[in-house]
Amino acid sequence: MMAAGMAAQRGLRTILIEKNPVLGRKLLLTGKGRCNLTNYCEVDELIENIPVNGKFLTNAFYKFSSKETISFFNKLGLEIKVERGKRVFPASDKAKDVIEVLIKFVVSNGVNVIHSSALDIMKFGKIFAVKLQNGEVIRGNKLIIATGGKSYPGTGSTGDGYKFARKFGHTIKKYKPSLVPIEAKHEWAPRADELLLKNVAIKILDKNNKVVYKDSGEMFFTKFGVSGPVILSASSHVRNIKNHKLFIDLKPALSEEKLDIRIQRDFNEYSRKQFKAVLKNLLPNKLVPIIIELSKIPARKQVHQITKEERKNLVFLLKNLSLKLDKFRSIKEAIVTSGGVDVKEIAPKTMESKLVPGLYFAGEVIDVDGHTGGFNLQIAWSAGFVAGSSV
Ligand SMILES: Cc1cc2nc3c(=O)[nH]c(=O)nc-3n(C[C@H](O)[C@H](O)[C@H](O)COP(=O)(O)OP(=O)(O)OC[C@H]3O[C@@H](n4cnc5c(N)ncnc54)[C@H](O)[C@@H]3O)c2cc1C
């Protein structure tokens, strides 16, 4: 949409081909329906947050930075707000408002939108021909492939762009899921399904017990393991998760000593109460039976009978709840696809193919992927802007 709107704004006759009956279906899911449309930071920080080929985007980010994204949307009438971690959202908290103004941008610039799937792309001399599912063949002297990655295929991104690019001789870097939930092996994990932990610190240790990732924030349990912002971020940093261990600090604001003092205070105050009742003051309900089981302290034991050793073990457990990690969920559940069209074969100043004159790429189809926080959409805006301004 960005690329098509920019091209049309320059007076070029532009056709946008979209296989879905609506535009921007994936956007509707972004930021849990709120669309974290960019990150309010400088270009250097944008690049730092694109672990795969961030430098390739330097030029595109200077041409269209997150500040330009914000003013672009403001000009279209979208009010925005900046939240924790410099994450930018529409003030309305509604992703559909982002889609609405983008459609306005596309339509008001005179883009002709055709809702049909592109099945094949050919080039005859200098002319591209796109064969559509509805039987039409669209011809043009420039072509931008912005078909997204392979994740959340229900939104339309089924990896078709890789097939088209490969046909034109482009190298496709092996794609894999990034920003994806992680499966855990522990038998108790499914019992915590849907449990949200709003403020925890996590660390991930490899098989040699070396800390390979640390973060703090929000996570949740699923039937198969763990997900949520800190877990998704971890998945883009730790590329192979097999035989790694996740440690969750359930009380990151308190040191072990302070937590011990807090628990002693509770135990003194409610000395005749049962362990399970007192734990409810400390933990979300769903976690109580799990912690009881792992602590090996009987649920009905009155807290004044709990030994010092048992209490110390409990403190350790609350600071180090551990889970064996197994594997990433499939690409279908990944927020982004890592891998794609090799950046070495694309000119960073224009997004034009170095192999096929007149062919351009934009967005997630390229071998670039970022952390959570609005960076992936910024890639799409910046690359789309550059491609649409260069065709
Ligand atoms: C659940 C979820 C939440 C996310 N949240 C955020 C967030 O808050 N912030 C953020 O920065 N990023 C987020 N992302 C990532 C972000 O949405 C993507 O990186 C971004 O949408 C990529 O844009 P794109 O235009 O390259 O591809 P897409 O948005 O995937 O668009 C590609 C379009 O091409 C169409 N298409 C594909 N093949 C064909 C074909 N053969 N013929 C016709 N049309 C075709 C598709 O139907 C689709 O509409 C999220 C992703 C998911 C899945």
N-to-C CA span, the chain: 14
Q: Would you say the CATH fold of 181-329 matches that of 2-176+336-390?
A: no
What distance in Å separates the CA atoms of residue 200 and residue 216, rounded to the nearest whole number?
Answer: 6
What distance in Å separates the CA atoms of residue 47 and residue 51, rounded to the nearest whole number?
Answer: 8
pLDDT, tens digit, for every residue of 40-90?
999 999 999 998 899 999 999 999 999 999 999 999 999 999 998 999 999
Q: What is the pLDDT of residue 346?
A: 98
Dig out the tokens for 145 from the structure: 């492939």
pLDDT, tens digit, for every residue of 370-389?
999 999 999 999 999 999 99
C-alpha neighbours within 13 Å on the C-beta side of residue 284: 15
Residue 157 CA, ligand 1 centroid: distance in Å: 6
**Is the CB of 146 within 6 Å of ligand 1?**
yes
pTM of the full predicted structure? 0.89
Domain ranges of the chain: 2-176+336-390, 181-329
**Is the CB of 36 within 6 Å of ligand 1?**
yes
**Looking at the domain that runs over 181-329, which CATH code has it been given?**
1.10.8.50
Residue 351 CA, ligand 1 centroid: distance in Å: 18
**Is the CB of 313 within 6 Å of ligand 1?**
no
Query: What b/e string do you get for 53-86 counting C-beta neighbours within 10 Å, with b at 16 or more?
Result: bbebbbbbbeebbbebbbebbeebebebeeeeee
Angle at 95 between CA 92 and CA 97, to 5 degrees: 65
Query: Ligand 1 atom 38: the closest Cα is on which residue?
Result: 147
Residue 371 near residue 51, CB atoms below 8 Å: yes
Query: Ligand 1 atom 52: the closest Cα is on which residue?
Result: 335
What distance in Å separates the CA atoms of residue 259 and residue 251, rounded to the nearest whole number?
Answer: 8
How far, CA to CA in Å, does 115 sit from each of 16, 20, 24, 253, 340?
8, 6, 12, 52, 24
Gyration radius of the chain's alpha carbons:
25
Residue 145 near residue 161, CB atoms below 8 Å: yes
What distance in Å separates the CA atoms of residue 380 and residue 72, rounded to the nearest whole number?
Answer: 14
DSSP secondary structure code for residue 248 in this structure: E
What distance in Å separates the CA atoms of residue 101 and residue 30, rounded to the nearest whole number?
Answer: 16
What distance in Å separates the CA atoms of residue 214 and residue 222, rounded to the nearest whole number?
Answer: 21
**Is the CB of 367 within 6 Å of ligand 1?**
no
β-partners of residue 144 are 360
**Is the CB of 20 within 6 Å of ligand 1?**
yes
In this structure, the number of other CB atoms found within 10 A of the CB of residue 335 comes to 22
**Is the CB of 371 within 6 Å of ligand 1?**
no
Ligand 1 atom nearest to 30, measured from its CA:
5
Query: What b/e string do you get for 376-389 counting C-beta neighbours within 10 Å, with b at 16 or more?
Result: bbbbbbbbbbbbbb
Per-residue model confidence as pLDDT tens for the chain (391 residues): 999 999 999 999 999 999 999 999 999 999 999 999 999 999 999 999 998 899 999 999 999 999 999 999 999 999 999 998 999 999 999 999 999 999 999 999 999 999 999 999 999 999 999 999 999 999 999 999 999 999 999 999 999 999 999 999 999 999 889 999 999 987 787 889 999 999 999 999 999 999 999 999 999 999 999 999 899 989 988 878 989 999 999 999 999 999 999 999 999 999 999 999 999 989 999 999 999 999 999 999 999 999 999 999 999 999 999 999 999 999 999 999 999 999 999 999 999 999 999 999 999 999 999 999 999 999 999 999 999 999 9
DSSP secondary structure code for residue 75 in this structure: H
Residue 82 CA, ligand 1 centroid: distance in Å: 22
Q: What is the pLDDT of residue 213?
A: 95
Ligand 1 atom nearest to 116, measured from its CA:
43
**Looking at the domain that runs over 2-176+336-390, which CATH code has it been given?**
3.50.50.60
Which amino acid does the sequence have at 274? Q
| Chain CA centroid to CA 348, Å | 23
Q: What is the pLDDT of residue 153?
A: 95
Ligand 1 atom nearest to 164, measured from its CA:
41
Residue 27 CA, ligand 1 centroid: distance in Å: 7
Q: What is the pLDDT of residue 191?
A: 87
